[in-house]
Every structure is written in structure tokens, then in C-alpha cells.
Amino acid sequence: MYEAEALTPGGASFTESTPAPPAAAAALALSPFVWGLNRPDLFDTYSVGIILMQLSVPNLRPKSSMAITGIFQRNLLNADYSLQRWRDKFAGGNWDFSMLDADGGKGWDLACKLVCKRNSLQRGRLSAAAATRHPYVLFG
């Protein structure tokens, strides 16, 4: 059984356990529906967005700022997982966003579309396939 620690949208930590799988035939029939409902691939794109932010914004490189209890994570939670609100409210004038703001802000647009909440239908965040078609990736 696999266990992973995750954050709730409210920022509280919990351990999520994967239940035992159903019979092979049932799993084969149900897996596309379960994947479509839960969209676990969107969690990975959130992580990619966080890495993009760390690579592009020097202030986010210290381990302490990106820890689950770090200042960035707390402030992002307070901004309801909106990078634009976070930047407007918490990122001061000494922050360097030049890599993301270059070329009309394509990098910032991609980061905002990766680091955001999913809505009740598990949508609202770019999938990995959609992210590879973003102008920042194609032409950046």
C-alpha cells in the first residue's frame, strides 16, 4: 500500500492511502473514468509550476521558503493559490521576475496556469499536454 503526505486546499497536512485494487477486469473497465474524475496528472503540473518558479525567481530558491510551512507556501495559501494575487500582495520590489516577465510575460502566464487551484470538476490547471503547447514552451 502506498502512502503519501499531501496538503489539503486549506494547507493542513494529511496522509492519503491508496486502497487495494479491484479485480483486474473491473479495474480495466473503471480506470479511465477514475482517472478522468480525479485528474492526478494535474498534481504533477502544479509541481512543475513550483519548479519553474524556483528556477526563475531567485528569492524562491532557499529551501526554507518552499517548505510546506515556509513563507511562500503560507503566503500562496493566503492568496488562495493565485500566483497573481500572491505577487501583488506579498512579493516586494526586490523580487526578480525578469525571466518570467520577458517576452510579454509568457513565463509568468504559464506559471500562473500551473500553480493554481483545481475547481470542483478537477479543472482549472493546465495538463502536461496543454503546458507543452503553451507559447512559453514553444517559442520561449
Q: pLDDT tens digits for 60-69?
A: 988 888 887 8
* CA–CA gap between residue 17 and residue 129 (Å, rounded): 27
For residues 134 and 110, is the Cβ–Cβ distance under 8 A? Answer: yes
Total residues belonging to the chain: 140
Q: Is 20 exposed, middle or buried (0-12, 13-18, 19+ CB in 10 A)?
A: exposed
In degrees rounded to 5, what are phi and psi of residue 123?
Answer: -115, 175
The CATH number assigned to the domain holding 116 equals 1.10.510.10
Q: Where does residue 11 fall: left (phi above 0), alpha (psi -120 to 50 degrees), or beta otherwise? A: left
Q: Residue 12 domain-assigned? A: no
pTM over 0.85: no
Tell how strand 3-7 and strand 13-17 pair up: antiparallel
Give the residue from 47, 2, 43, 44 showing the smallest Cα distance to 20: 2
> By residue range, what is the domain housing residue 122?
40-139
Q: pLDDT tens digits for 99-111?
A: 999 999 999 999 9
* CA–CA gap between residue 102 and residue 51 (Å, rounded): 18
More confident residue, 77 or 11: 77
Say how many domains are in the chain: 1
Q: Residue 92 domain-assigned? A: yes
pLDDT of residue 4: 47
Q: Residue 8 domain-assigned? A: no
* CA–CA gap between residue 15 and residue 35 (Å, rounded): 20
Q: pLDDT tens digits for 67-109?
A: 878 888 899 999 999 999 999 998 878 899 999 999 999 999 9
Q: Residue 101 domain-assigned? A: yes
